[in-house]
Amino acid sequence: MLKIENISVKGGDSLIIKDISLFLNKNERLVIFGPNGSGKSTLIKSIMGISGYKVIKGRIIFEDKDITDIPISQRAKMGIGIMYQTPPKIYGIKILQLGKYLAQNEEEINQLAEKLKVDEFLRRDLNVDLSGGEIKRVELFQVLLQKPKLLLLDEPESGVDIENISIMGNVLNEYIKKTECSALIITHTGYILDYVEGEKGCVMMDGKITCQSKPRIVFDMIKKYGYEKCEECKWK
Amino acid sequence: MEIEKEELKNLEKVGFDLEEKERAGSFIQKDNEILFSKVFQEGVEVLPIGKAIEKYPEIKEKYYGVSFKKTGKEFEKDTEGGYFIRVKKGVKTLFPVQACLYLKSKKFRQKVHNIIVIEEDASAYLITGCTSAKEAEDAYHLGISEFFISKGGFLNFTMIHSWKEDIEVEPLSAAVVEEGGIFVSNYISLKPVKKIVMYPTALLEGENSRARVSSIIVSFKNSYQDIGSRCILANKNTSAEIISRAVSYGGKIVARGHIKAVSPMTRGHLECRGLIITEEGIIHAIPELETLYQDVELSHEAAIGKIKKEEIEYLASRGIPEEEAQAMIIRGFMNVEILGLPEILEKEIKKVTEKV
pLDDT digits (tens, 9 = 90+) for A173-217: 999 999 999 999 999 888 888 899 899 999 999 999 888 888 998
Contacts of B311 in chain A (CB under 8 A): 88, 90
In a domain, A115, yes or no: no
In a domain, A112, yes or no: no
In a domain, A162, yes or no: yes
CB B317 within 8 A of CB A76: yes
In a domain, A101, yes or no: no
Selecting from A87, A91, A125 the residue whose C-beta is nearest the C-beta of B314 gives A87
Task: Provide the domain count of chain A.
Answer: 1
Contacts of B334 in chain A (CB under 8 A): 92
Q: Which domain holds residue A154?
A: 2-90+133-231
Question: Which of A53, A70, A90, A125 is best to mutate for the B interface (most B CBs within 10 A)?
Answer: A90
> Is pTM, for the whole model, over 0.95?
no
In a domain, A80, yes or no: yes
Contacts of B339 (CB under 8 A, 6+ apart): B158, B184, B186, B214, B216, B346, B349
Q: Are B322 and A93 a contacting pair at CB < 8 A?
A: no
For residue B341, the distance in angstroms to the closest alpha carbon of chain A comes to 16
Sign of CA dihedral A217, A223, A226, A227: positive
DSSP E strand boundaries for chain B? 25-30, 33-39, 44-48, 83-87, 97-103, 109-118, 123-132, 140-149, 154-162, 168-177, 182-189, 195-198, 201-204, 210-219, 224-233, 239-248, 252-261, 266-276, 282-291, 296-305
Contacts of B331 (CB under 8 A, 6+ apart): A92, B353, B354
DSSP B106: T
User: B60-85 burial by CB neighbour count: b if 16+ within 10 A, else e?
Assistant: eeebbbbbbebbebebeeebbbbbbb
A37: domain CATH number is 3.40.50.300
Residue B302 CA to residue B242 CA, distance in Å, equals 11
Q: What is the ipTM metric for this complex?
A: 0.95
Residue B230 CA to residue B244 CA, distance in Å, equals 12
Q: Are A98 and B334 a contacting pair at CB < 8 A?
A: no
Query: Looking at residue A122, what is its pLDDT?
Result: 95
Helix crossing, A106-115 with A132-145: angle to 10°? 140
One pLDDT digit (tens) per residue for chain B, 356 residues: 566 777 777 787 788 888 888 899 999 999 998 888 899 999 999 999 999 999 999 999 999 999 999 999 999 999 999 999 999 999 999 889 999 998 999 999 999 999 999 999 999 999 999 999 888 899 999 999 999 999 999 999 999 998 989 999 999 999 999 999 999 999 999 889 999 999 999 999 999 999 999 999 999 999 999 999 999 999 999 999 999 999 999 999 999 999 999 999 999 999 999 999 999 999 999 999 999 999 999 999 999 999 999 999 999 999 999 999 999 999 899 888 877 777 777 877 777 777 66
For residue A106, the distance in angstroms to the closest alpha carbon of chain B comes to 18
Query: Looking at residue A62, what is its pLDDT?
Result: 97
Query: Looking at residue A232, what is its pLDDT?
Result: 64
Q: Which of B285, B289, B288, B286 is nearest to B267 (CA)?
A: B289
Q: Which of B24, B11, B15 is nearest to B348 (CA)?
A: B15
One pLDDT digit (tens) per residue for chain A, 236 residues: 999 999 999 998 999 999 999 999 999 999 999 988 899 999 999 999 999 999 999 999 999 999 999 999 999 999 999 999 999 999 999 999 999 999 989 999 999 999 999 999 999 999 999 998 999 999 999 999 999 999 999 999 888 888 899 999 999 999 999 999 999 999 988 888 889 989 999 999 999 988 888 899 888 888 888 887 776 665 54
Closest residue in B to A148 (Cα–Cα): B318
User: What is the overall mean pLDDT for chain A?
Assistant: 92
Give me the DSSP letters along chain A: -EEEEEEEEEETTEEEEEEEEEEE-TT-EEEEE--TTSSHHHHHHHHHT-TTEEEEEEEEEETTEE-TTS-HHHHHHHTEEEE-SSPPPEEEEEHHHHHHHH-SSHHHHHHHHHHTT-GGGTTSEETSS--HHHHHHHHHHHHHHT--SEEEEESTTTT--HHHHHHHHHHHHHHHHHH--EEEEE-SS-GGGGTS--SEEEEEETTEEEEEE-HHHHHHHHHHH-THHHHT-TT-
Q: Are B311 and A98 a contacting pair at CB < 8 A?
A: no
Contacts of B96 (CB under 8 A, 6+ apart): B22, B23, B24, B124, B125, B126, B127, B342, B344, B345
In a domain, A73, yes or no: yes
How deeply is A105 buried, as exposed, middle or buried, from its count of CB atoms within 10 A (0-12, 13-18, 19+)? exposed
In a domain, A199, yes or no: yes
CB B150 within 8 A of CB B306: no
In a domain, A118, yes or no: no
Selecting from A71, A82, A102 the residue whose C-beta is nearest the C-beta of B322 gives A71
Question: What's chain B's Rg over C-alpha atoms?
Answer: 20
Query: Looking at residue B78, what is its pLDDT?
Result: 94
Backbone angles phi, psi at B64, to 5 degrees: -60, 115
Q: Are A92 and B335 a contacting pair at CB < 8 A?
A: yes
